[in-house]
Amino acid sequence: MLKVLSASYLQGRLQNLSAKLPANFSYGESRAPLLRVLGSLRSSNSRNPNLCKRVFCSESGDGSNPVVEAEEKPVEVDAATESAEVDSKASSAIVSTNPRPEDYLTVLALPLPHRPLFPGFYMPIYVKDPKLLAALVESRKRQAPYAGAFLLKDEPGTDPSLAPGSETEKNIYDLKGKELFKRLHEVGTLAQITSIQGDQVVLIGHRRLRLTEMVSEDPLTVKVDHLKDKPYNKDDDVIKATSFEVIATLRDVLKTSSLWRDHVQTYTQHIGDFNFPRLADFGAAISGANKLQCQQVLEELDVYKRLKLTLELVKKEMEISKIQESIAKAIEEKISGEQRRYLLNEQLKAIKKELGLETDDKTALSAKFRERLEPNKEKCPPHVLQVIEEELTKLQLLEASSSEFNVTRNYLDWLTALPWGNYSDENFDVHRAQAILDEDHYGLTDVKERILEFIAVGKLRGISQGKIICLSGPPGVGKTSIGRSIARALNRKFYRFSVGGLGDVAEIKGHRRTYIGAMPGKMVQCLKNVGTANPLVLIDEIDKLGRGHAGDPASALLELLDPEQNANFLDHYLDVPIDVSKVLFVCTANVVEMIPNPLLDRMEIITIAGYITDEKMHIARDYLEKSTREACGIKPEQVEVTDAALLGLIENYCREAGVRNLQKHIEKIYRKIALQLVRKGESNAPSQVIGPNEAKEKSINELNEAVVMEETQIGSDLQEGIIEKLDSEIPAVADQIQTDLQADKNMCEDDQIVDSKDNIGTEGSQENEASKEFEKIMIDTSNLSDFVGKPVFHAERIYDQALVGVVMGLAWTAMGGSTLYIETTFVEQGEGKGALHLTGQLGDVMKESAQIAHTVARAILLEKEPNNPFFANSKLHLHVPAGATPKDGPSAGCTMITSMLSLAMKKPVKEDLAMTGEVTLTGRILPIGGVKEKTIAARRSNVKTLIFPSANRRDFDELSANVKEGLEVHFVDDYSQIFNLAFGGDQDAEK
């Protein structure tokens, strides 16, 4: 196909076309239609004197190309040829040679692989055979620049409609001698060699040839016969009509293709006027027909038939041109709107950039989201990927100024930031976990054992299934810190959020995206922050969930904490299922009874009762004191807190189950110590009490500094001036230091050469030496109250001796266990005045227990002392001390009965005895809760004997040995056993 150099060159050639066309080109008496069409261009085009030859036929073309390509570079021609073209007429543009072309009957055979060469057309070919190329050069030098150009036949068995490949061209170059001769078409073209540049040879066709025989093989030389067109009548109407149709068709094609107009212009410049044979050759040469169809036109010597063949080709070319135009129009209509939109957007961006109003680029946003998603794309669930792709497509269609754009952008930000399928590598090393738990916490054997069981199961399975563990216990026992230690032992990320007082379901399940300021729930925020899909999530204060107008958060937690449902947890904001089944949930609560039952059913409860005194001592010494001392910047050698001080702190100030209050008191101690140290450092005074000798030394040091200053001011009158100053200002001290003045004078004279900066440095060194001389501050029971104030608690035993009607019970509170005295006293007596008055801010359950106790006590007294009418005729007052504290619970029943019987029989109970248990109307003892807390409270009150229901034996046996140490425990089933233990009867209770 023709390759056009440039649009500007084509325009210049078209402008020159009208001037070059001959004026005498006609068919008989009528002017040629093609000339009239081309002549219409004369009015709009100016003459261009610069003429340059073009290549019209290229060997790279094939039958599938619609037009013939032009060579990109102009073909060089001889100076003689160029001058001859300028001087010659348009009707004979080809240079005549001597001898004439028809005299050549033996020529070199040049194979054309793609298209035949028509008379009047240029064609560049590449000659790879060096011998053939040398022969062509030699022929041109001998003034015989002619060769035969023959189209090469296709190999047998190949499809001529397929475009040839590079391997086919290589095979053509390998053909030699007879093999090449057999592959050449019989009819070819006598070609003039216009120029040779390297291996490129430019040919121009003159007349048709027919192969007769081969003369030599290398290079291939053949004998040829020159062919002439068959005679025809140029006035024949059929031939005229056919030629007119060819011209009309060419005119229509010329309207749509500037390339074809360039063909016409250049042809007329170098060939001359059109006639019927040339018209047929011209139409076939510039058409996009395949090489076989073009060869058929070349071989046809009958002018009429050749015109008919050409008409078919140009008609086909016209149809191709129409199809091309329709395709171009359809594509243009399709993309014109998008192009306009794109151009306007680009202009808008440029304007915004100039004004400083440029917003986020949607393309950059999409690229950022895709880049963020790429690491986990293979692990991301398909339904999530589909939603992300839909939202990314939606983002591209939205305007950046619309509110929906920001909603979609935030939504994609959350979707792509979640760790889809990204799990952290867990550590199932039980020994390492044990070491970590022991390092962070002292005691808590039950909790540690349960965590190690969880890790062991995960190691055997190879994967850890998310569980929901609830740590219940009083404040300050370390529930939150235990969760953090579990995460460290398992090598999981840790995230904590508190739900205390939470009253909005959207905090758990997220908001709908339609709301302003919508955000995902806490679980989605957790996954984004930790970056893994299997963190440890601590849900703090789950027993303090609120319930407001925005729904019930406790019910919203059911889906999150249900192992059967949380594999498809649905957040309202994301609106895609999220797998949180691998998350380990740890909840904390102070009172399990406050957790809703459906939620409690999904959790595994691990109770942390609290710490006994011994455990608190270890925690304070090994954990709290060390961390507090480092936080205050105090060195260990500066302070010593004795064990007696810590014990006094625990028993008299911090009796709660946890150690948070203990930590506060230790921090209070160290803060006061830090203040003391700073004050001593500022005054530069030793820590001990200053005596007379110390005062003398202090005065001498002060006077030394004064002497140095006075020496600078008064020079040689140093001693007299100081004495005068001492006599006037400090006469009481002057008598004590006169004997030391000479030594001071010598020291001052040595220091006289020291500048002020050295004096400052000396003072600093003296301060450091003084700080090293501080005595270690000792914290003991004697000065503990100076740091933390008066004791808050006294001995829980209010009564040193057992009194009638007073019995010690054991109670459980949210702060741990405590002792609870129950007092019963006599108000008045009279026949039929038996009654019971209750005080102590008791709850409904405890009031009912008092009524039951009164009934059971009357029955037991009637059994033991039938003649004693005490309960029938006496009004009693039962009080539980600490009236400001609300109290409730059924486990005080047996204590109330014992208190009433003690008053009725006027017998005190045994000393160092405490009891707990719920009583029925028949005297049966029912189990109670808080065994460990009550046991710790009993030890704190120096109780030696405990009475527990038999149903709680296993709970007591599971306690550690240091908790049970020194206690005598009796387990009872009926109150008669308690009666014998309390009042000294037969002790048949089981120990």
User: Which residues fall in the annotated binding site for ATP?
Assistant: 473-480
* Residue 846 to residues 838, 850, 852, 891, Cα–Cα distance (Å): 10, 6, 10, 8
Instruction: Report the alpha-carbon distance of residue 100 to residue 501 in Å, rounded.
Output: 114
Dihedrals phi, psi of 944, to nearest 5 degrees: -100, -30
Cis peptide before 99 (omega within 30 of 0): yes
Cβ-count burial 567-583 (b if 16+ within 10 Å, e if not)? eebebbbbebebbbbbb
Determine which one of 891, 899, 902, 932 is catalytic.
Answer: 891
> Cα–Cα distance between 737 and 726 in angstroms, integer?
10
* SS3 assignment, position 151: strand
178 is catalytic: no
CA angle 180-184-189, nearest 5°? Answer: 125
N residues, the chain: 991
Looking at 53, 362, 616, 934, which residue is catalytic? Answer: 934
Nearest alpha-carbon partner for 497 in 534, 439, 536 = 536
Binding-site members are 473-480
Phi first, then psi: what are they for 875, rounded to 5°? -95, 125
Strand blocks (E) in 814-961: 816-829, 835-839, 874-879, 913-915, 918-919, 925-926, 945-949
User: How far, in whole angstroms, is CA 461 from its chain's centroid?
Assistant: 30
In contact, 805 and 876? CB cutoff 8 Å = no
Structure tokens of 635? 């060195």
Q: Are 561 and 448 in contact (CB under 8 A)?
A: no
934 is catalytic: yes
Q: CA angle, corner 745, sides to 743 and 750, nearest 5?
A: 100
What span, in angstroms and rounded, lies between the C-alpha atoms of 405 and 566? 31
- Dihedral sign computed on CA atoms, order 436, 440, 442, 448: negative
Residue 152's Cβ-side half-sphere holds a number of Cα atoms within 13 Å equal to 22
Amino acid code (one letter) for 394: K
Pairwise CA distance, residues 769 & 762, whole Å: 11
654: CB partners within 8 A, 6+ apart:
616, 661, 662, 665
Q: Distances from the Cα of 758 to the Cαs of 706, 750, 755, 763, 764, in angstroms?
A: 16, 13, 6, 9, 10
Which ranges of 789-930 would DSSP assign to H, the alpha helix?
Answer: 844-864, 870-873, 893-905
Residues noted as catalytic: 891, 934
